[in-house]
Amino acid sequence: MKMRVLCWLLLGLVILLPGNRVLADDGTTRDRVVIGENFTLKSGETIDGNLVVIGGETALEAGARVSGDLVVIGGSLRMDGAIGGSAIVIG
């Protein structure tokens, strides 16, 4: 079981990392990456970009917003808030 989770985490990193390296960084992105911790976006809070959580529980409270995509790898998602892009949960 641990090997399977590790494989999924490595696959997620392989998929996510190359995409970030080809983009020019102009300092305006507000993406958030959380590894090995639970994450809660509280009511009224906004992330102006993408949110990636690896190995943790993720919660978006009512009134919270992620303007980009939301990716959870090796955890769970409780979404009462809103997202502007896609929500993907793996494992």
Q: How far apart, in Å, are the Cα atoms of 86 and each of 20, 63, 70?
A: 17, 17, 6
| Cα 10 to Cα 29: distance, rounded to the nearest angstrom | 24
Contact 73, 5 (CB under 8 A): no
State mean pLDDT over 2-12: 75
Q: Look-up: residue for tokens 């639970």?
A: 38
Whole-model pTM over 0.95: no
pLDDT computed for residue 17 by the predictor: 59
Encode pLDDT of 38-72 as tens digits: 999 999 999 999 999 999 999 999 999 999 999 99
Per-residue pLDDT tens digits for 9-30: 777 766 665 544 445 555 666 8
The two three-digit tokens of residue 6, written as one number: 């590790």
Residues across the chain: 91
